[in-house]
Amino acid sequence: MSLAPMTMSARAVFAMAAAPEGVSGWLQFVPFILVIGIFYFIILMPMQRKQKKVQEFQQALKVGDKVITTGGIYGQITRITDEAVQLQVADKVRIDIARAAIGGYQGQPAVVETPNQ
């Protein structure tokens, strides 16, 4: 058996796999760029919007707001610092929690989503 027919068929396969002449190398990146664009608009952009909304909510907290924590504790804000919030959860019962643990206002949908367990 000679190797000539096998070599010719291998050349034909490689010739079909090569890019046609005249096609720019940049054209091969178009599908990759489209996938990145779709990923950005479907996943990254909504995530950035949500993160901005949460940050604005946490910066707008003020003394007297009735809130619920991500752990499900209801209370009224009595003191605010840069990183912590003091909640009054009952008469003469106050707790300090992280500002990021405030999930939303009482009676309204949560701004900060709790992780599923």
**What is the full DSSP assignment across 45-71?**
HHHHHHHHHHHHHHHT--TT-EEEETT
Q: What's the pLDDT score for residue 117? A: 42
Q: Are 56 and 40 in contact, with CB atoms under 8 Å apart?
A: no
pLDDT of residue 27: 84
Residue 91 has pLDDT above 70, yes or no: yes
Contact 68, 112 (CB under 8 A): no
Residue 95 has pLDDT above 60, yes or no: yes
- Indicate the DSSP class of residue 25: G
Provide the pLDDT for residue 46: 92
Please determine, for residue 13, whether its predicted confidence score (pLDDT) is greater than 60.
no
pLDDT tens digits for range 20-73: 555 677 788 899 999 999 999 999 999 999 999 989 998 999 999 999 999 999
Q: What is the mean pLDDT of residues 7-15?
A: 55
Q: Select from 81, 74, 75 the least CA-distant residue to 100.
A: 81
- Number of alpha carbons in the 13 Å side-chain half-sphere of residue 92: 0
CA 47/CA 67 separation, integer angstroms: 23
